[in-house]
Amino acid sequence: MKFSLYSVFLALAVTHAFVPVSQSSRSQSSLSLSSSTEAPTSSVFGKPEKIVMDQLPTLYVYDHCPFCVRVRVALGVKNVKHNLHFLANDDKITPTNLVGKKIAPIFDFPADGVVMAESMDIIKLIDSDERFGPVNAIKPASGRTDLKEWQKSVQTLLRTLQRPRYVATGLLPEFQQLDARHAFIANHQLPPYEKAEWREMDNMEEKLKIYADAISSDPAPMIEELSARLVALDDIVYSEHFCTEGGFSLDDIDLWARLRSISIIKGVKWPEGLRKYMDNLSELADVPLYDELAM
């Protein structure tokens, strides 16, 4: 399907509610690898009782942002009731008033008068304070280099496929308005451009055209490559419940947060074990996948 530059990025009409639903599509799970090991029941993360404070903490996020998703996952698996505030992508005033600059995530913990940024610092707080439930419930990062190497190997591929789709759906909460979509496009390069080169490009029309060309080009070769890379990842993910032997850890929080946005790409073939991993953690963390928005 060809998408008009103006219909996609200039005059995108939003006519549907934002309802990304995690849905395991078995037609996309055609591959199953023996390395996907069923974890012993005793090792599966047990969700604690719901924590509801008198003053709910608020998490300010962009829905697509993996660093924001990290904190959403941590709060979800610890079962902490919280307010979720989606920032418009062009909203500089709200985050600047909170922490002095445009950044996300931001965690506002009114019980202590604490407002903080940086995803891993927020997670450290909520997993070391008994008011957020059992402490040290999330195991430390293992330091595995194979997961980092895999993420690096697909970085260019994912930027090319994901970034145009974030804004083209018109349904992500941070991109509900034209100015927000333009703000993202203005600051997020598509390959082969580097960040500095993209920011030096003054012609917004040229950037819009590059995004429009990316969404209208045939994605089949890149999707085929990505599907093959997911097979390789499936080989190194320990089980459908956690990616590293020993239990749910910061490895999962980082990996799942980065993998989530792949579900916005229609036609990707997930290995069966890896798809179960995505669905299981989506349910555990109460963070939906993008299956219903995929394009």
DSSP 8-state code for residue 290: S
Percent of the chain with pLDDT over 70: 85
Lookup: tokens for 195: 């960040």
CA dist 295 and 291 (Å) reads 9
Question: Are 82 and 285 spatial neighbours (Cβ–Cβ below 8 Å)?
Answer: no
Residue 2: band (very low, low, confident or very high) from pLDDT cuts 50, 70, 90: very low
Residue 260 CA neighbour count, 13 Å, CB half = 31
Read off the pLDDT of residues 205-215 as tens digits, 9 standing for 90 and up: 999 999 999 99
**Verdict on whether the full-model pTM lies above 0.75:** yes
| In contact, 247 and 45? CB cutoff 8 Å | yes
Q: What is the pLDDT of residues 107-118, one digit of tens each?
A: 999 999 999 999
For 247, half-sphere exposure in the C-beta direction (CA atoms, 13 angstrom radius) is 12
Question: In what order do the strands lie in the sheet containing 106-109?
Answer: 83-86, 58-61, 106-109, 114-117
**pLDDT > 70? residue 5:** no
Is residue 49 within 8 A of residue 61, CB to CB? The reply is no
User: Which pLDDT belongs to residue 46?
Assistant: 77
CB 86 within 8 A of CB 173: yes
12 has a pLDDT exceeding 80: no
Place of tokens 């032997």: 245
Predicted pLDDT of residue 43: 56
**In the predicted model, what is the mean pLDDT of residues 218-246?**
97
pLDDT in tens, 18-33: 233 333 333 333 333 3
Stated as kind and residue range, the H or E segment containing 36 is none
- The conformation of residue 164, written as its DSSP 8-state character, comes to H
Q: Please determine, for residue 286, whether its predicted confidence score (pLDDT) is greater than 70.
A: yes
Give the span between the Cα atoms of 275 and 293, in whole angstroms.
17
The share of the chain scoring above pLDDT 90, in percent, equals: 83
Phi then psi for 109, rounded to 5 degrees? Answer: -110, 90
Q: Which pLDDT tens digit goes with each residue over 137-171? A: 999 999 999 999 999 999 999 999 999 999 999 89
Q: How confident is the model at residue 281 (pLDDT cuts 50, 70, 90)?
A: very high
pLDDT at 247: 95
Per residue in 59-88, pLDDT tens? 999 999 999 999 999 999 999 999 999 999
Q: CA–CA separation, 256 vs 97, rounded Å?
A: 30
